Structure 1
Amino acid sequence: MPSEEPRPAPVLRRPPDPADRVIWEPSERWVRGTKGDVTVVDSRRPVLVWEPGRPVPLYAFPREDVRTDLLRETVRPATGRHAGATVFYDLEARGGTVTEAAWTYPGEELAGYIAFAWFGREVLDHWSEEDEEIFVHPRDPHKRADALPSARHVQVGIEGTIVADTRSPVLLFETGLPVRYYLPREDVRLDLFTPSGHRTRCPYKGEATAYWSWSGGGDVPPDIAWSYPDPLPAVGAIGDRVAFYNEAVDLTVDGERLERPASGFIRPRPRPR
């Protein structure tokens, strides 16, 4: 009998993390957090913590790596946040108090660790991993941001007008997000846009300090294009280039019109028929 052809191995996808419990893993990064000129956290043995329902991690630190003399237990903390934590701490530094700036997790696994708030609150002024400042939240070791130069032909259209046309983009592949196409400034019609004062920060790319809004009217969201003049070294290839929200422009790559993705950054608008 003829032998059967070997079957290809199935493609396995990493299962999602459980939605009902805290996930954590140790990190070997040297992490520091400061408030003004005061170092509040200085740890070479933090742990990364993923709370239920949060797509990005937090850091928790051994108690002995934290200036606990600056912490006071919160008298009436809001409950139901941070995976069941009930012990919260106010931070007293630089002559002021930040309420519920830190907390401890229940259970034995993370006993002796203290976590600090990052999201939407300026609890500490600066965080760094080794000697590089990080923003917004700790970097997730299971996610990547790869900036790859390409020879693809990329065109960007807004309201029927071609606003960018290049054959030398840099493609940014960031885990879980749409591919972003960073284009040379000379290939973008920036005269059709108005600079805005909008700024954003990203733990993987750095600070986007240049944004532009479309000047041509129509149902186009503001701050549709942006640039990282001085990105973090890992994605240095995107430096000073211009990217657009795929969700709200018409992208054509190598002659193929791309579908507008759905994401939490901007609500996609259906293309006119």
Structure 2
Amino acid sequence: MSLTIGTGPFGPRGGAFNFEVKAPRGHVLYFEDSPRRVRVELGGETVADSRRMKLLHETGLLPVYYFPEEDVRTELLERTDHTTRCPFKGEAVYWTVRAGGRTAENAAWAYPEPLEGAPPLGGHIAFYWDRMDRWFEEDEEVDVHPRDPYHRIDALPSSRHVRVTVNGELVAETRRPVILFETGLPPRYYIPREDVREELLVPSESSSVCPYKGVASYWSVRAGGETVEDLVWSYPEPRRDAERVGGLLCFFNERVDLEVDGERQERPETQWSR
């Protein structure tokens, strides 16, 4: 996501270049080799397995893995009449995938004749991530979407003075946050539980998965006479890059009044990723 989403160089909130970007910032395509072995499964069967992967970055979209056709078990694919047309890539054809007793309708696609000026997508097949059962990079299962090689996480201990207010009521205050800096996203301030008024937190059944940080649990906050749903999250068992925030609590910058070192922080216009 870091190249084409958020504050990435080709994202909607990216920085400035000292030259004209001839491909409009509104839609950039970047197709590159990936050194990772990638496998995808449906119904317990391997549908594709490649050590020659390609990764497509496209403005406003998450990265997409493309398999060389020779590394796909095409006998498990059934061509359908479904097609779509992308003004930047061309006409896509689709296949339904049948494997292990399961069927994923129109789950695979390809651009047999990509438009002039588009990346060389011909001879490659992609799969909808959420229509398949399991994905692996090397031997580690990956959730949600491919890990972007340009995406970075830095979780840094800090002595900044952080105050979080909800509906006019102070909910958390600390001078020992761990600040998580993640490519393309605003800084996130993870706070020790001892510095949060946990009596104001209401456990939620919500959860989310991040391919970089792990599975998050949520709480709502009852403050100022109102309950704000799913305002706080934590990673009880974070992935290795986010180990320092394990068990700490974080509030959506976008939905609270956040003060850092005495300065009120502007709320981002829309709710970003966790």
**TM-score band, normalised by shorter chain:** 0.7 to 0.9
What SS class does the counterpart of residue 74 from structure 1 fall into?
strand
Give the Å deviation of 1:91: 0.7
Q: Which one of 41, 56, 72 corresponds to residue 62 of structure 2?
A: 56
Corresponding residue of 2:239:
232
Determine which structure has more spread, i.e. the larger CA radius of gyration. 1
Q: 1:190 aligns with which of 186, 198, 201?
A: 198
Deviation, 1:58, is 0.4
Map of 2:157 onto structure 1:
149
> In 2, distance between residues paired with 1:35 and 1:201?
20
> Could you tell me which residue of structure 2 aligns to residue 95 of structure 1?
101
Gaps spanning 5+ residues in structure 1: where?
1-10, 267-273
Q: 1:44, CA displacement in angstroms?
A: 1.4
Give the 4+ runs in structure 1 shifted more than 6 A: none
**What is the Cα deviation at residue 246 of structure 1?**
0.3
| Contact persistence 2:168–2:224 (CA under 8 A) | no
* 8 Å CA contact 1:197, 1:211 repeated in 2: yes
Q: Write the distance in 2 (CA, Å) between the matches of 1:54 and 1:248.
A: 23
Whichever residue aligns with residue 190 of structure 1, its letter is: E
Decide which moves more: 257-266 or 233-242. Answer: 257-266
Residue 68 of structure 1 pairs with residue 74 of structure 2? yes
Q: 1:171 to 1:13 in 2, by over 3 A?
A: farther
CA-CA distance at 1:220 after TM superposition: 6.1
Question: Which structure carries more strand by proportion?
Answer: 2
Distance 1:203 1:254, change over 3 A: same
**Root mean square deviation of aligned Cα:** 2.4
The aligned residue for residue 123 of structure 2 is 112
Deviates more, 1:17-26 or 1:105-114: 17-26
In structure 2, the residue matched to 1:80 is 85
Aligned residues between the structures: 250
- 1:4 maps to none
Contact 1:156/1:165 (8 A) holds in 2: yes
TM-score w.r.t. the length of structure 1 is: 0.83
Query: Secondary structure at the residue paired with 1:198?
Result: strand
2:171 aligned residue (163, 168, 180): 163
Aligned runs of 1:119-158 on 2, under 5 Å?
A: 122-158=130-166
Residues 25-73 of structure 1 show CA distances to partners (whole Å, capped at 9, x for unaligned) of: 111012121223211222112111123x433210001112222111111
Q: Which consecutive unaligned segments of at least 5 residues does structure 2 have?
A: 1-15
1:270 is matched with which residue? Answer: none
Distance 2:210 2:18 in 1: 26
TM-score, normalised relative to structure 2: 0.83
**How many angstroms apart in 2 are the aligned matches of 1:126 and 1:83?**
27
Residue 142 of structure 2 aligns to which amino acid in structure 1? I
- Opposite residue 136 of structure 2, the aligned amino acid is S
- SS state of the match for residue 91, structure 1? strand
Secondary structure class of the residue paired with 1:237: helix
Could you tell me which residue of structure 2 aligns to residue 23 of structure 1?
30
The aligned amino acid for 2:184 is G
Letter in structure 2 aligned against 1:80: R
Aligned residues of 1:206 and 1:232 also touching (Cα < 8 A) = yes
Please report how far the alpha carbon of residue 21 of structure 1 lies from its aligned counterpart in structure 2 after TM superposition. Answer: 5.7
Preserved CA contact (<8 Å) 1:154 1:167: yes
Equivalent position amino acid for 1:88 in 2: Y
